[in-house]
Amino acid sequence: MSELRPPASLAPESRAGLFYAIAAYGLWGFFPLYFLVLAPAGPFEIVAWRVLFSVVFCALIILVLRRGGKIARIMRNRRTMIALGVGGVLVFVNWQVYVLAVVTERVNEAALGYFINPIVTVLLGVVVLREKLRIMQWIAVGISAVAVLVLGIFNGSFPWISLALAFSFGLYGLVKKRVSGTVDALTGLAVETAWLAPIAILQLVFVGVTTGVVFGTAGVANTALLAAAGIVTSIPLLLFAAAARRLPLFIIGFIQYLTPTLQFLIGTFLLLEAMPFERWVGFSLVWFALVLFSIDMALHTRSVRRALPLPG
């Protein structure tokens, strides 16, 4: 029988992965505060600069790390380029809706979208990839649907922000899954944002002829923060990529709830957004669905591990 590596030898790698995951999801959780301090820049200008400065930041890292060959190989692959273009459009929609939610004081609706996202991802797997759901997963999906109805009917407005964020990010995940074997996080973000650069430029032109571009006119601090959008966008993604290489997907799945939890706490207790009884009911239903979803994921992961043959 081959010698098994003791669990202790994996501890440093796992601890590093845990740190990277918490850092990534923690930074994403505090994004509302970052976008709020970019005022008086509006949501369309913020996203446009976020795209353009992400292109610049990724290009600089690629040059430093000498990864230009990877970009060249991707550009020769038509299918991958189209997939990354589609992914870019989806992430653009996600960014735009999210920033719009933040600057219009609807952070909790954005948080709800990311709470729903794991369940939407599973549902998309059924529709697009023809995957089969287990009973507890179907129950979680059903409860989430009821939550959306509660929020739409009793809260007075359809939760389009939450659903737009959940579905755009879920579809983005499907696209990324198709190219995950050939495209790393940095290269993928570089190509996606490069695809979006012309849209971002047109968006800045539109802002310029309507409300006026804020960049460079609201002080040094505001200009620096807007310019930092590329770094702020890229660093959590790179941290997440590092975590994904070191941690099981099961642990990543639990840590991902840190982001919407922080957003919810910021929206409710710091920004003092309204949380009427109906909204608490809707959120509670989603949280209950996530508990069922997480329990099912834990039980399924345990059963799969038990079914695997021992090395030897």
Residue 10, pLDDT above cutoff 50: no
Domain ranges of the chain: 11-307
Positive or negative: CA dihedral 226, 228, 232, 237: positive
φ/ψ bin of 102: left (φ > 0), alpha (ψ from -120 to 50), beta (otherwise):
alpha
Distance CA 98, CA 114 (A): 10
- Residue 81 has a pLDDT of 93
Q: What is the pLDDT of residues 84-123, one digit of tens each?
A: 999 999 999 999 999 999 999 999 999 999 999 888 888 8
Distance CA 258, CA 196 (A): 29
**How deeply is 157 buried, as exposed, middle or buried, from its count of CB atoms within 10 A (0-12, 13-18, 19+)?**
exposed
Cβ–Cβ under 8 Å, residues 177 and 127 = no
Q: What is the pLDDT of residues 266-290, one digit of tens each?
A: 999 999 998 888 889 989 999 998 8
Q: What is the pLDDT of residues 39-57, one digit of tens each?
A: 999 999 999 999 999 999 9
Average pLDDT of the residues of the chain? 87
**Least trusted range by pLDDT, from 131-135, 167-171, 181-185, 246-250:** 246-250
